[in-house]
Protein backbone atom coordinates (compact mmCIF):
# COMPACT_ATOMS: atom_id res chain seq x y z
CA UNK A 1 0.00 0.00 0.00
CA UNK A 2 1.36 3.37 -1.00
CA UNK A 3 2.34 5.53 1.93
CA UNK A 4 0.76 8.95 2.24
CA UNK A 5 2.18 10.45 5.39
CA UNK A 6 5.37 10.47 7.35
CA UNK A 7 5.41 9.88 11.08
CA UNK A 8 7.28 11.06 12.96
CA UNK A 9 8.48 14.23 11.30
CA UNK A 10 12.02 14.72 12.53
CA UNK A 11 12.33 17.91 14.53
CA UNK A 12 15.55 19.89 14.75
CA UNK A 13 16.57 20.64 18.31
CA UNK A 14 18.86 23.53 19.12
CA UNK A 15 21.18 21.92 21.63
CA UNK A 16 24.18 23.94 20.52
CA UNK A 17 27.34 22.41 21.93
CA UNK A 18 25.35 20.23 24.31
CA UNK A 19 27.42 19.37 27.32
CA UNK A 20 29.38 22.63 27.39
CA UNK A 21 29.04 25.08 30.30
CA UNK A 22 26.34 27.70 29.73
CA UNK A 23 27.02 31.36 30.25
CA UNK A 24 23.66 31.89 31.98
CA UNK A 25 21.74 29.55 34.21
CA UNK A 26 18.28 30.48 33.01
CA UNK A 27 17.29 29.22 29.58
CA UNK A 28 14.96 31.00 27.20
CA UNK A 29 11.35 30.28 28.10
CA UNK A 30 10.36 29.36 24.55
CA UNK A 31 13.40 27.25 23.62
CA UNK A 32 15.07 24.06 24.74
CA UNK A 33 18.59 24.13 26.08
CA UNK A 34 20.66 21.63 27.99
CA UNK A 35 19.28 22.78 31.33
CA UNK A 36 15.61 22.14 30.57
CA UNK A 37 15.61 19.52 27.83
CA UNK A 38 16.13 16.26 29.71
CA UNK A 39 12.65 16.08 31.27
CA UNK A 40 10.84 13.23 29.50
CA UNK A 41 11.26 10.12 27.39
CA UNK A 42 9.56 11.92 24.51
CA UNK A 43 12.38 14.45 24.52
CA UNK A 44 14.96 11.68 24.56
CA UNK A 45 13.22 10.08 21.59
CA UNK A 46 13.21 13.42 19.78
CA UNK A 47 16.92 13.79 20.51
CA UNK A 48 17.53 10.36 18.93
CA UNK A 49 16.01 11.10 15.51
CA UNK A 50 19.16 12.70 14.00
CA UNK A 51 21.07 9.50 14.77
CA UNK A 52 19.25 7.90 11.84
CA UNK A 53 20.83 10.32 9.39
CA UNK A 54 23.89 8.04 9.42
CA UNK A 55 21.98 5.64 7.14
CA UNK A 56 22.37 6.69 3.50
CA UNK A 57 19.99 4.16 1.98
CA UNK A 58 19.21 5.26 -1.57
CA UNK A 59 20.51 8.77 -0.82
CA UNK A 60 18.89 12.01 0.22
CA UNK A 61 17.57 13.34 -3.04
CA UNK A 62 20.92 12.94 -4.77
CA UNK A 63 23.14 10.17 -6.10
CA UNK A 64 25.09 9.48 -2.93
CA UNK A 65 23.36 6.42 -1.55
CA UNK A 66 24.92 3.10 -0.59
CA UNK A 67 23.03 1.16 -3.26
CA UNK A 68 24.16 1.30 -6.91
CA UNK A 69 26.07 4.57 -6.44
CA UNK A 70 29.07 3.01 -4.63
CA UNK A 71 30.87 2.04 -7.83
CA UNK A 72 34.40 1.51 -6.47
CA UNK A 73 34.28 -2.28 -6.73
CA UNK A 74 34.81 -5.11 -9.20
CA UNK A 75 31.11 -5.38 -10.15
CA UNK A 76 30.38 -2.07 -11.85
CA UNK A 77 31.96 0.19 -14.41
CA UNK A 78 31.06 3.84 -13.86
CA UNK A 79 31.23 6.27 -16.81
CA UNK A 80 34.44 7.78 -15.40
CA UNK A 81 36.54 5.12 -13.72
CA UNK A 82 36.10 5.09 -9.94
CA UNK A 83 39.48 5.80 -8.41
CA UNK A 84 41.27 4.90 -5.22
CA UNK A 85 42.68 7.57 -2.93
CA UNK A 86 46.13 8.51 -4.22
CA UNK A 87 47.08 11.59 -2.19
CA UNK A 88 46.48 12.57 1.41
CA UNK A 89 43.44 14.89 1.53
CA UNK A 90 43.30 17.98 3.68
CA UNK A 91 39.83 17.08 4.94
CA UNK A 92 37.44 14.14 4.66
CA UNK A 93 33.82 13.65 5.66
CA UNK A 94 34.74 10.14 6.76
CA UNK A 95 36.85 11.45 9.66
CA UNK A 96 33.83 12.57 11.67
CA UNK A 97 33.11 12.15 15.39
CA UNK A 98 29.90 14.23 15.50
CA UNK A 99 27.55 11.32 16.03
CA UNK A 100 29.91 9.80 18.60
CA UNK A 101 29.75 12.98 20.64
CA UNK A 102 25.98 13.04 20.32
CA UNK A 103 25.78 9.47 21.63
CA UNK A 104 28.09 10.32 24.52
CA UNK A 105 25.93 13.31 25.46
CA UNK A 106 22.87 11.06 25.63
CA UNK A 107 24.72 8.53 27.78
CA UNK A 108 25.78 11.26 30.19
CA UNK A 109 22.35 12.92 30.43
CA UNK A 110 20.09 9.88 30.61
CA UNK A 111 20.09 9.67 34.41
CA UNK A 112 18.52 13.11 34.58
CA UNK A 113 15.39 11.94 32.79
CA UNK A 114 12.49 10.84 35.02
CA UNK A 115 11.67 7.41 33.60
CA UNK A 116 12.01 3.76 34.68
CA UNK A 117 15.40 2.04 34.68
CA UNK A 118 14.45 -0.27 31.83
CA UNK A 119 13.59 2.77 29.70
CA UNK A 120 16.91 4.38 30.58
CA UNK A 121 18.74 1.20 29.60
CA UNK A 122 16.85 1.09 26.32
CA UNK A 123 18.08 4.57 25.42
CA UNK A 124 21.58 3.77 26.66
CA UNK A 125 21.43 0.83 24.28
CA UNK A 126 20.29 3.06 21.40
CA UNK A 127 23.15 5.48 22.07
CA UNK A 128 25.68 2.67 22.23
CA UNK A 129 24.23 1.11 19.05
CA UNK A 130 24.90 4.28 17.09
CA UNK A 131 28.27 4.86 18.74
CA UNK A 132 29.27 1.34 17.67
CA UNK A 133 28.01 1.96 14.14
CA UNK A 134 29.94 5.24 13.87
CA UNK A 135 33.14 3.65 15.15
CA UNK A 136 32.71 0.71 12.77
CA UNK A 137 32.66 3.17 9.86
CA UNK A 138 35.81 4.86 11.17
CA UNK A 139 37.70 1.62 11.76
CA UNK A 140 36.80 0.25 8.32
CA UNK A 141 38.51 3.22 6.73
CA UNK A 142 41.26 4.17 9.15
CA UNK A 143 42.08 1.22 11.42
CA UNK A 144 43.38 2.74 14.65
CA UNK A 145 41.27 5.72 15.77
CA UNK A 146 40.91 7.70 19.01
CA UNK A 147 38.30 6.10 21.28
CA UNK A 148 36.22 8.94 22.71
CA UNK A 149 34.06 7.55 25.49
CA UNK A 150 32.72 10.80 26.92
CA UNK A 151 31.54 14.20 25.70
CA UNK A 152 34.65 16.18 26.54
CA UNK A 153 34.58 19.94 26.99
CA UNK A 154 36.62 21.79 24.40
CA UNK A 155 38.88 23.02 27.19
CA UNK A 156 39.93 19.43 27.96
CA UNK A 157 42.61 19.53 25.29
CA UNK A 158 44.46 16.44 26.51
CA UNK A 159 41.35 14.35 25.85
CA UNK A 160 40.10 16.20 22.77
CA UNK A 161 43.48 15.71 21.09
CA UNK A 162 44.17 12.21 22.35
CA UNK A 163 46.18 9.98 20.03
CA UNK A 164 44.82 7.02 18.10
CA UNK A 165 43.94 3.94 20.11
CA UNK A 166 44.85 0.48 18.77
CA UNK A 167 42.23 -1.08 16.54
CA UNK A 168 41.98 -4.11 18.86
CA UNK A 169 41.06 -1.91 21.85
CA UNK A 170 38.58 0.16 19.84
CA UNK A 171 36.81 -2.90 18.47
CA UNK A 172 36.64 -4.49 21.92
CA UNK A 173 34.81 -1.33 23.02
CA UNK A 174 32.56 -1.55 19.96
CA UNK A 175 31.73 -5.16 20.83
CA UNK A 176 30.91 -4.11 24.40
CA UNK A 177 28.55 -1.45 23.02
CA UNK A 178 26.88 -4.02 20.76
CA UNK A 179 26.50 -6.52 23.61
CA UNK A 180 24.87 -3.87 25.78
CA UNK A 181 22.53 -2.79 22.98
CA UNK A 182 21.49 -6.39 22.20
CA UNK A 183 20.75 -7.02 25.89
CA UNK A 184 18.93 -3.78 26.68
CA UNK A 185 17.13 -2.20 23.75
CA UNK A 186 13.49 -3.10 23.51
CA UNK A 187 12.40 -6.06 21.46
CA UNK A 188 10.05 -3.62 19.77
CA UNK A 189 9.90 0.13 20.19
CA UNK A 190 8.21 2.47 17.75
CA UNK A 191 7.80 1.23 14.19
CA UNK A 192 11.02 1.30 12.16
CA UNK A 193 13.39 2.28 14.95
CA UNK A 194 16.33 0.48 16.54
CA UNK A 195 15.21 -2.56 18.50
CA UNK A 196 16.80 -5.78 19.71
CA UNK A 197 16.62 -7.40 16.28
CA UNK A 198 18.30 -4.44 14.59
CA UNK A 199 21.03 -4.47 17.24
CA UNK A 200 21.65 -8.15 16.54
CA UNK A 201 21.80 -7.44 12.81
CA UNK A 202 24.44 -4.75 13.35
CA UNK A 203 26.40 -7.09 15.61
CA UNK A 204 26.24 -9.76 12.90
CA UNK A 205 27.57 -7.32 10.29
CA UNK A 206 30.31 -5.73 12.36
CA UNK A 207 31.63 -8.91 13.94
CA UNK A 208 31.82 -10.76 10.61
CA UNK A 209 33.79 -7.85 9.18
CA UNK A 210 36.23 -7.65 12.08
CA UNK A 211 36.69 -11.40 12.46
CA UNK A 212 37.46 -11.94 8.79
CA UNK A 213 39.70 -8.85 8.62
CA UNK A 214 41.81 -10.31 11.40
CA UNK A 215 41.87 -13.73 9.77
CA UNK A 216 42.91 -12.57 6.30
CA UNK A 217 45.18 -9.65 7.23
CA UNK A 218 47.91 -11.62 8.93
CA UNK A 219 50.27 -8.65 8.58
CA UNK A 220 48.14 -6.74 11.09
CA UNK A 221 48.85 -9.36 13.78
CA UNK A 222 45.43 -8.82 15.36
CA UNK A 223 44.26 -11.49 17.84
CA UNK A 224 40.81 -12.90 18.57
CA UNK A 225 39.44 -13.40 15.07
CA UNK A 226 37.43 -16.35 16.38
CA UNK A 227 35.91 -14.22 19.16
CA UNK A 228 34.34 -11.88 16.63
CA UNK A 229 33.31 -14.68 14.27
CA UNK A 230 31.58 -16.54 17.11
CA UNK A 231 29.77 -13.33 18.03
CA UNK A 232 28.69 -12.88 14.39
CA UNK A 233 27.46 -16.46 14.18
CA UNK A 234 25.57 -16.21 17.46
CA UNK A 235 23.85 -12.93 16.56
CA UNK A 236 22.96 -14.23 13.10
CA UNK A 237 21.52 -17.44 14.49
CA UNK A 238 19.28 -15.54 16.90
CA UNK A 239 17.85 -13.65 13.94
CA UNK A 240 17.49 -16.78 11.81
CA UNK A 241 15.40 -18.24 14.63
CA UNK A 242 13.47 -14.98 14.98
CA UNK A 243 10.26 -13.71 13.36
CA UNK A 244 11.75 -12.98 9.92
CA UNK A 245 11.36 -14.75 6.58
CA UNK A 246 12.56 -14.18 3.04
CA UNK A 247 10.23 -12.44 0.63
CA UNK A 248 9.00 -14.74 -2.12
CA UNK A 249 10.38 -12.35 -4.74
CA UNK A 250 14.02 -11.21 -4.62
CA UNK A 251 13.28 -7.66 -5.77
CA UNK A 252 10.52 -6.97 -3.22
CA UNK A 253 13.19 -5.86 -0.75
CA UNK A 254 14.52 -3.29 -3.22
CA UNK A 255 11.59 -1.82 -5.16
CA UNK A 256 8.75 -1.52 -2.64
CA UNK A 257 6.96 1.77 -2.16
CA UNK A 258 6.49 0.89 1.50
CA UNK A 259 8.53 -1.62 3.51
CA UNK A 260 6.32 -1.28 6.59
CA UNK A 261 5.62 -4.77 7.87
CA UNK A 262 7.90 -6.42 5.31
CA UNK A 263 8.74 -9.83 6.75
CA UNK A 264 12.37 -9.80 5.53
CA UNK A 265 13.37 -6.27 6.54
CA UNK A 266 14.40 -5.29 10.07
CA UNK A 267 15.06 -1.57 9.50
CA UNK A 268 14.58 0.58 6.42
CA UNK A 269 14.89 4.17 5.25
CA UNK A 270 11.49 5.61 4.51
CA UNK A 271 10.99 7.94 1.57
CA UNK A 272 7.83 10.04 1.30
CA UNK A 273 6.82 12.46 -1.45
CA UNK A 274 7.14 16.03 -0.26
CA UNK A 275 9.44 15.13 2.63
CA UNK A 276 12.33 13.03 1.35
CA UNK A 277 13.02 11.45 -2.00
CA UNK A 278 15.91 9.79 -3.80
CA UNK A 279 17.30 9.63 -7.31
CA UNK A 280 17.98 5.94 -7.86
CA UNK A 281 15.09 5.15 -10.17
CA UNK A 282 15.52 8.49 -11.88
CA UNK A 283 19.08 7.58 -12.80
CA UNK A 284 18.07 4.16 -14.11
CA UNK A 285 15.24 5.50 -16.29
CA UNK A 286 16.84 8.68 -17.62
CA UNK A 287 19.25 9.36 -20.46
CA UNK A 288 22.13 9.62 -17.96
CA UNK A 289 24.70 6.96 -18.73
CA UNK A 290 24.23 4.16 -16.20
CA UNK A 291 27.03 2.40 -14.33
CA UNK A 292 26.46 -1.06 -15.74
CA UNK A 293 27.41 -4.45 -14.36
CA UNK A 294 30.69 -5.63 -15.86
CA UNK A 295 31.59 -8.99 -17.38
CA UNK A 296 33.15 -10.21 -14.12
CA UNK A 297 29.90 -9.60 -12.23
CA UNK A 298 27.71 -11.25 -14.87
CA UNK A 299 29.98 -14.31 -14.98
CA UNK A 300 29.66 -14.73 -11.19
CA UNK A 301 26.03 -15.88 -11.44
CA UNK A 302 25.74 -19.67 -11.69
CA UNK A 303 23.55 -21.59 -14.08
CA UNK A 304 20.16 -23.01 -13.17
CA UNK A 305 21.79 -26.37 -12.34
CA UNK A 306 23.71 -24.61 -9.55
CA UNK A 307 27.11 -24.93 -11.24
CA UNK A 308 29.52 -22.12 -12.22
CA UNK A 309 29.45 -21.17 -15.89
CA UNK A 310 32.81 -22.83 -16.57
CA UNK A 311 31.45 -26.19 -15.39
CA UNK A 312 27.78 -26.16 -16.38
CA UNK A 313 26.61 -27.84 -19.61
CA UNK A 314 23.62 -25.46 -19.49
CA UNK A 315 25.71 -22.35 -20.06
CA UNK A 316 24.87 -20.83 -23.45
CA UNK A 317 27.69 -18.32 -23.67
CA UNK A 318 27.34 -14.57 -23.97
CA UNK A 319 27.17 -13.85 -27.69
CA UNK A 320 23.90 -11.99 -27.06
CA UNK A 321 21.73 -11.01 -24.11
CA UNK A 322 19.31 -13.90 -24.68
CA UNK A 323 22.14 -16.44 -24.39
CA UNK A 324 23.60 -14.65 -21.36
CA UNK A 325 20.29 -14.86 -19.49
CA UNK A 326 19.39 -18.41 -20.54
CA UNK A 327 19.49 -21.10 -17.82
CA UNK A 328 20.87 -18.73 -15.19
CA UNK A 329 20.34 -17.86 -11.54
CA UNK A 330 17.04 -15.93 -11.25
CA UNK A 331 18.87 -13.12 -9.44
CA UNK A 332 20.69 -12.36 -12.67
CA UNK A 333 17.43 -12.28 -14.60
CA UNK A 334 15.97 -9.84 -12.08
CA UNK A 335 19.10 -7.68 -11.89
CA UNK A 336 19.61 -6.82 -15.58
CA UNK A 337 17.32 -5.93 -18.46
CA UNK A 338 16.27 -8.28 -21.25
CA UNK A 339 17.87 -5.95 -23.79
CA UNK A 340 21.29 -4.35 -24.05
CA UNK A 341 21.60 -0.57 -24.20
CA UNK A 342 24.85 1.15 -25.14
CA UNK A 343 25.95 4.22 -27.11
CA UNK A 344 25.23 2.83 -30.58
CA UNK A 345 22.15 0.92 -29.43
CA UNK A 346 20.07 3.26 -27.28
CA UNK A 347 16.88 1.80 -25.80
CA UNK A 348 14.27 4.48 -25.14
CA UNK A 349 17.16 6.92 -25.00
CA UNK A 350 18.95 4.95 -22.28
CA UNK A 351 22.52 3.74 -22.27
CA UNK A 352 24.74 1.76 -19.91
CA UNK A 353 28.53 1.76 -19.78
CA UNK A 354 28.59 -2.00 -20.25
CA UNK A 355 25.36 -2.58 -22.15
CA UNK A 356 23.83 -4.25 -19.09
CA UNK A 357 21.12 -2.08 -17.57
CA UNK A 358 20.50 -2.60 -13.81
CA UNK A 359 16.81 -3.35 -13.09
CA UNK A 360 16.51 -4.80 -9.57
CA UNK A 361 15.53 -1.42 -8.07
CA UNK A 362 12.87 -0.54 -10.65
CA UNK A 363 9.16 -0.39 -9.81
CA UNK A 364 6.66 -0.04 -12.68
CA UNK A 365 4.45 2.21 -10.53
CA UNK A 366 7.14 4.89 -10.33
CA UNK A 367 8.79 4.44 -13.72
CA UNK A 368 7.99 8.02 -14.76
CA UNK A 369 8.94 9.74 -11.50
CA UNK A 370 12.09 11.72 -12.08
CA UNK A 371 14.97 12.30 -9.70
CA UNK A 372 15.02 13.39 -6.91
CA UNK A 373 11.40 12.47 -6.23
CA UNK A 374 11.63 8.67 -6.09
CA UNK A 375 10.05 7.24 -2.95
CA UNK A 376 10.68 3.50 -2.89
CA UNK A 377 11.98 2.54 0.57
CA UNK A 378 15.58 1.41 1.09
CA UNK A 379 16.42 -1.65 3.21
CA UNK A 380 19.08 -1.06 5.87
CA UNK A 381 19.15 -4.41 7.70
CA UNK A 382 17.45 -7.47 6.25
CA UNK A 383 17.44 -11.23 6.57
CA UNK A 384 19.32 -12.08 3.37
CA UNK A 385 22.47 -10.38 4.63
CA UNK A 386 22.16 -12.14 7.98
CA UNK A 387 21.94 -15.54 6.28
CA UNK A 388 25.12 -14.77 4.36
CA UNK A 389 26.86 -13.54 7.50
CA UNK A 390 25.98 -16.75 9.32
CA UNK A 391 27.25 -19.04 6.57
CA UNK A 392 30.55 -17.21 6.19
CA UNK A 393 31.24 -16.90 9.92
CA UNK A 394 30.51 -20.60 10.46
CA UNK A 395 32.69 -21.68 7.51
CA UNK A 396 35.66 -19.58 8.62
CA UNK A 397 35.27 -20.85 12.19
CA UNK A 398 35.41 -24.38 10.76
CA UNK A 399 38.67 -23.47 9.03
CA UNK A 400 40.01 -22.18 12.34
CA UNK A 401 39.01 -25.39 14.13
CA UNK A 402 36.50 -23.52 16.31
CA UNK A 403 33.35 -25.09 14.84
CA UNK A 404 32.31 -28.07 12.72
CA UNK A 405 30.48 -26.88 9.62
CA UNK A 406 27.75 -29.24 8.36
CA UNK A 407 25.04 -29.44 5.74
CA UNK A 408 22.60 -28.05 8.30
CA UNK A 409 24.52 -24.79 8.32
CA UNK A 410 24.08 -24.43 4.57
CA UNK A 411 20.43 -25.44 4.63
CA UNK A 412 19.48 -22.83 7.23
CA UNK A 413 21.41 -20.04 5.54
CA UNK A 414 22.43 -19.66 1.91
CA UNK A 415 20.38 -22.57 0.59
CA UNK A 416 17.28 -20.55 1.47
CA UNK A 417 18.60 -17.87 -0.87
CA UNK A 418 19.44 -20.39 -3.59
CA UNK A 419 15.95 -21.88 -3.38
CA UNK A 420 14.45 -18.43 -3.89
CA UNK A 421 16.83 -17.92 -6.82
CA UNK A 422 15.66 -21.15 -8.47
CA UNK A 423 18.94 -23.04 -8.20
CA UNK A 424 19.75 -26.34 -6.43
CA UNK A 425 21.04 -26.42 -2.88
CA UNK A 426 24.77 -26.27 -2.22
CA UNK A 427 26.09 -29.39 -0.50
CA UNK A 428 29.14 -30.11 1.59
CA UNK A 429 30.65 -33.30 2.96
CA UNK A 430 33.21 -31.55 5.15
CA UNK A 431 36.76 -30.49 4.52
CA UNK A 432 35.69 -27.38 2.63
CA UNK A 433 34.36 -29.40 -0.32
CA UNK A 434 31.20 -28.56 -2.27
CA UNK A 435 28.73 -30.43 -4.43
CA UNK A 436 25.43 -29.96 -6.25
CA UNK A 437 23.00 -32.87 -6.61
CA UNK A 438 25.64 -35.17 -5.14
CA UNK A 439 28.32 -34.26 -7.67
CA UNK A 440 31.43 -32.61 -6.25
CA UNK A 441 32.84 -29.56 -8.00
CA UNK A 442 35.42 -26.83 -7.62
CA UNK A 443 35.11 -23.65 -9.64
CA UNK A 444 38.16 -23.15 -11.92
CA UNK A 445 37.73 -19.40 -11.34
CA UNK A 446 38.77 -19.85 -7.71
CA UNK A 447 42.39 -18.79 -7.83
CA UNK A 448 42.42 -17.70 -4.19
CA UNK A 449 43.70 -19.74 -1.26
CA UNK A 450 40.25 -20.33 0.25
CA UNK A 451 38.34 -23.61 0.09
CA UNK A 452 35.62 -24.34 -2.42
CA UNK A 453 33.07 -23.94 0.37
CA UNK A 454 34.19 -20.45 1.35
CA UNK A 455 34.52 -19.49 -2.33
CA UNK A 456 30.91 -20.49 -3.02
CA UNK A 457 29.67 -18.70 0.11
CA UNK A 458 31.49 -15.59 -1.08
CA UNK A 459 29.89 -16.02 -4.51
CA UNK A 460 26.45 -16.16 -2.90
CA UNK A 461 27.22 -12.95 -1.04
CA UNK A 462 28.40 -11.25 -4.22
CA UNK A 463 25.36 -12.09 -6.33
CA UNK A 464 22.73 -11.77 -3.58
CA UNK A 465 24.01 -8.33 -2.54
CA UNK A 466 24.93 -7.17 -6.04
CA UNK A 467 24.83 -3.34 -6.23
CA UNK A 468 23.97 -3.10 -2.52
CA UNK A 469 27.14 -1.29 -1.41
CA UNK A 470 28.92 -4.19 0.34
CA UNK A 471 31.40 -5.30 -2.29
CA UNK A 472 34.26 -2.83 -1.76
CA UNK A 473 34.52 -3.50 1.97
CA UNK A 474 34.12 -7.25 1.40
CA UNK A 475 37.21 -7.14 -0.81
CA UNK A 476 39.03 -5.11 1.83
CA UNK A 477 38.31 -7.54 4.68
CA UNK A 478 39.19 -10.57 2.55
CA UNK A 479 42.53 -8.93 1.63
CA UNK A 480 41.51 -9.01 -2.03
CA UNK A 481 42.19 -5.41 -2.94
CA UNK A 482 44.07 -6.59 -6.02
CA UNK A 483 40.65 -7.43 -7.53
CA UNK A 484 40.28 -3.69 -8.11
CA UNK A 485 43.38 -3.48 -10.32
CA UNK A 486 42.18 -3.19 -13.90
CA UNK A 487 45.40 -4.25 -15.61
CA UNK A 488 45.35 -7.72 -14.03
CA UNK A 489 41.55 -8.07 -13.99
CA UNK A 490 40.47 -6.86 -17.42
CA UNK A 491 36.94 -8.27 -17.14
CA UNK A 492 36.03 -5.55 -14.63
CA UNK A 493 36.38 -2.98 -17.43
CA UNK A 494 34.50 -5.01 -20.03
CA UNK A 495 30.82 -5.18 -20.81
CA UNK A 496 28.58 -7.25 -23.03
CA UNK A 497 29.58 -8.82 -26.32
CA UNK A 498 28.06 -6.66 -29.07
CA UNK A 499 28.25 -6.31 -32.87
CA UNK A 500 31.16 -4.24 -34.18
CA UNK A 501 30.45 -0.49 -34.02
CA UNK A 502 29.93 1.45 -37.24
CA UNK A 503 33.11 2.44 -39.03
CA UNK A 504 34.55 5.61 -37.57
CA UNK A 505 32.39 5.48 -34.47
CA UNK A 506 33.91 7.26 -31.47
CA UNK A 507 31.05 6.43 -29.12
CA UNK A 508 31.79 2.73 -28.68
CA UNK A 509 34.96 0.68 -28.39
CA UNK A 510 35.09 -3.11 -28.34
CA UNK A 511 38.03 -5.43 -27.74
CA UNK A 512 39.31 -8.11 -30.09
CA UNK A 513 36.63 -10.53 -28.86
CA UNK A 514 33.75 -8.11 -29.30
CA UNK A 515 33.26 -7.09 -25.64
CA UNK A 516 32.55 -3.46 -24.84
CA UNK A 517 35.68 -1.74 -23.56
CA UNK A 518 34.39 0.85 -21.13
CA UNK A 519 37.57 2.95 -20.82
CA UNK A 520 40.03 4.23 -23.35
CA UNK A 521 43.52 2.76 -23.52
CA UNK A 522 45.75 4.16 -20.83
CA UNK A 523 42.97 4.59 -18.26
CA UNK A 524 43.56 2.15 -15.42
CA UNK A 525 43.34 1.65 -11.67
CA UNK A 526 46.02 0.00 -9.55
CA UNK A 527 45.51 -1.12 -5.95
CA UNK A 528 48.56 -0.63 -3.74
CA UNK A 529 48.44 -3.29 -1.03
CA UNK A 530 50.97 -1.33 1.03
CA UNK A 531 48.60 1.58 1.56
CA UNK A 532 45.12 1.19 0.04
CA UNK A 533 43.60 -1.15 2.61
CA UNK A 534 43.28 1.92 4.85
CA UNK A 535 42.54 5.53 4.02
CA UNK A 536 45.00 8.31 4.90
CA UNK A 537 44.26 10.48 7.92
CA UNK A 538 43.38 13.97 6.60
CA UNK A 539 46.42 16.23 6.85
CA UNK A 540 44.27 19.02 8.25
CA UNK A 541 43.42 16.84 11.23
CA UNK A 542 47.03 15.87 11.82
CA UNK A 543 48.05 19.53 11.84
CA UNK A 544 45.52 20.27 14.59
CA UNK A 545 47.15 17.84 16.99
CA UNK A 546 50.04 19.07 19.11
CA UNK A 547 53.34 17.24 19.21
CA UNK A 548 52.50 14.74 16.48
CA UNK A 549 49.82 13.04 18.59
CA UNK A 550 47.92 11.95 15.49
CA UNK A 551 50.03 9.61 13.36
CA UNK A 552 49.46 8.88 9.69
CA UNK A 553 48.58 5.41 8.36
CA UNK A 554 51.33 3.22 6.86
CA UNK A 555 52.20 4.01 3.27
CA UNK A 556 50.77 7.52 3.46
CA UNK A 557 53.57 9.24 5.40
In this prediction, residue 27 carries a pLDDT of: 41
Higher pLDDT, 30 or 136: 136
In this prediction, residue 14 carries a pLDDT of: 33
Q: Which is it for strands 378-382 and 265-269: parallel, antiparallel or unpaired? A: antiparallel
**What is the pLDDT of the chain when averaged over all its residues?**
93
Cα(135)–Cα(46) distance, integer angstroms: 23
Mean pLDDT of 270-283: 94
Burial class (CB in 10 A: 0-12, 13-18, 19+), 119: middle
> Taking 60 as the threshold, does the pLDDT of residue 229 lie above it?
yes
Backbone phi, psi, residue 382, to 5° = -150, 165
In this prediction, residue 190 carries a pLDDT of: 95
Say what percent of the chain tops pLDDT 90. 87
Mean pLDDT of 497-502: 93
> Taking 50 as the threshold, does the pLDDT of residue 204 lie above it?
yes
Mapped to the 3 state alphabet, what secondary structure does 443-470 carry? Answer: CCCCCCCCCHHHHHHHHHHHHHCCCCCC
Q: What is the pTM of this model?
A: 0.94
Cα(14)–Cα(189) distance, integer angstroms: 25
Mean pLDDT of 470-487: 98
> Taking 80 as the threshold, does the pLDDT of residue 222 lie above it?
yes
Q: Are 196 and 185 in contact (CB under 8 A)?
A: yes
The packing angle between helices 167-184 and 117-142, to 10°, is 150
pLDDT tens-digit readout, 51-88: 999 999 999 998 899 999 999 999 999 999 999 999 99
Sorting pLDDT into bands at 50, 70 and 90, what band is 26? very low
Sorting pLDDT into bands at 50, 70 and 90, what band is 10? very low
pLDDT tens-digit readout, 365-383: 877 778 899 999 999 999 9
Backbone phi, psi, residue 221, to 5° = 55, 45
In this prediction, residue 32 carries a pLDDT of: 65
> Taking 70 as the threshold, does the pLDDT of residue 419 lie above it?
yes
Q: Are 376 and 271 in contact (CB under 8 A)?
A: yes
Long-range contacts of 169-172 (CB under 8 A, 24+ apart): 170/135, 170/139, 170/144, 170/145, 171/139, 171/210, 171/228
Cα(412)–Cα(83) distance, integer angstroms: 38
Mean pLDDT of 323-338: 98
In this prediction, residue 5 carries a pLDDT of: 34
Rg of the chain in Å (alpha carbons): 24
Backbone phi, psi, residue 388, to 5° = -70, -40
In this prediction, residue 31 carries a pLDDT of: 62
Q: Which is it for strands 265-269 and 515-517: parallel, antiparallel or unpaired? A: unpaired
In this prediction, residue 503 carries a pLDDT of: 84
> Taking 90 as the threshold, does the pLDDT of residue 346 lie above it?
yes
Amino acid sequence: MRKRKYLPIILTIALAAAGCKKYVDKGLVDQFDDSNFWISEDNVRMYSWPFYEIFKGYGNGNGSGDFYFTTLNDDQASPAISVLTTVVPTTSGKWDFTLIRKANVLLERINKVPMPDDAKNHWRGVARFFRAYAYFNLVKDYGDVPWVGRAADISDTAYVYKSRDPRAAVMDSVLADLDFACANVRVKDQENTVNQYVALALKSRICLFEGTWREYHKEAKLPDAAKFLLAAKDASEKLINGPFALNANYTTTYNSLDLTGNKEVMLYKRYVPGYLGHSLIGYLTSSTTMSGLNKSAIDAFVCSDGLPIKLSPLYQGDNNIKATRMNRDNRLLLSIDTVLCYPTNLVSGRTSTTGYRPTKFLNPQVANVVAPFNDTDAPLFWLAEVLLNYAEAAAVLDKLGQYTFTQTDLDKSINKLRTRAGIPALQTSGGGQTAVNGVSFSDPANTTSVSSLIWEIRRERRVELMLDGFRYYDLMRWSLGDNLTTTTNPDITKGAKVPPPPAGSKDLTVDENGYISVYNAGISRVFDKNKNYLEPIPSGQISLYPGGNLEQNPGWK
